[in-house]
Amino acid sequence: MSSFDPDALECLAAIVEEGGFERAAQRLCVTQSAVSQRLRALEAQVGTVLIVRSRPLKATAAGQLLLKHTKMMRLLRADLERDLKELAPSSTGGGSDEERISIAINADSIATWALPALNALARSRQPMEIITDDQDFTHEWLRSGQVLGCVTTLKQALRGCKVVPLGAMHYVAVAAPDYAQAHCPEGLTPRNFRELPFLAFNRKDDLQVEFVSRAVGLKQVSLHQSFVPSSEAQVRAVLAGWGASVVPELLVRGLLEQGLLVNIAPRHTLAVALFWHCWNLESAVLDALSAALTGAAKTSLIS
């Protein structure tokens, strides 16, 4: 098998990660022409197109394979950097962008238990990129080779990957007290749910519909929804009286105890099981990342 130029591989990764040639050139500190030349040379070596010049720009199947290979090489370099620091503790400086490890985590986990789990890695100056998506779609980032691990609701492991159960996150339906008193004084019922505006993360988020469907005992429901792509911002919007929302109990526990929010469906919770998927590789950095996330989940999620 032919060996690939590391600079060309990082060029491909930069194009995909930055979403274009101009920003890739800025990141790599080269000209846009140099980026194009490196990509053309790599495509000539592979014998196929690696980038689809679409909006948004994306990698082809062959490009995704090379992108995954590039990220594996980054992980090996991160392991080497870690080992060298142990042998030479006085060594200064953190890893470069090329040693950055990428993971995909759903926004609700980032807003509650996952971010503190990464403190030790961040303090060791390990460069990281956390990609946020709906928990049902983070799996696709791993499938395409753009991340080395993900927190997702999907249980089935991909080829070459391993999966670890994390536990379940419990969701509750909340509203501001004044809003609830004015619009749903009896709580969430089959009679009033159609009139309540609900705040969802984005158009891919079906959590609100699933919760309300179960709570009111209907197989299908249609909701009036607004979209706020941040877990914390959803809560702020509910506090401001925008409407109701189904959010992690972990995120609003204190606000419920203080009476700043009320549970409008106290007899109902929705448990969403989460799983950690990552490449099945021998890597100290990957092992540390997995241990940090699984350990934090054990203390925060319901087993």
Fold assignment, 1-97: Arc Repressor Mutant, subunit A (1.10.10)
What is the value of pTM for the model shown? 0.76
Angle subtended by helix axes 32-46 and 61-87, to nearest 10: 110
Residue with structure tokens 């809560």?
235
Q: How far is CA 176 from the centre of its chain?
A: 28
Q: Where are the domains of the chain?
A: 1-97, 169-271
Q: Which CATH architecture has domain 169-271?
A: 3-Layer(aba) Sandwich (3.40)
Q: Using DSSP, state whether 53 is helix, strand or coil.
A: coil
CA distance 58 to 141: 12
Contact status, residue 268 vs residue 214, Cβ threshold 8 Å = yes
Contact status, residue 106 vs residue 202, Cβ threshold 8 Å = no
Tell me if 1-97 shares its fold with 169-271. no
> Which of 137, 245, 248 is closest to 200 using CA atoms?
245
List per-residue pLDDT tens for the chain, 303 residues long: 568 888 898 899 888 888 889 998 998 889 999 999 999 998 888 888 888 887 778 888 888 888 888 888 888 877 777 777 666 555 544 555 556 788 999 999 999 999 999 998 888 888 888 999 888 888 888 888 888 899 999 998 888 889 999 999 999 999 999 999 999 999 999 999 999 999 999 998 899 999 999 999 998 899 999 999 999 999 999 999 999 999 999 999 999 999 999 999 999 999 999 999 998 888 888 898 999 999 999 999 998
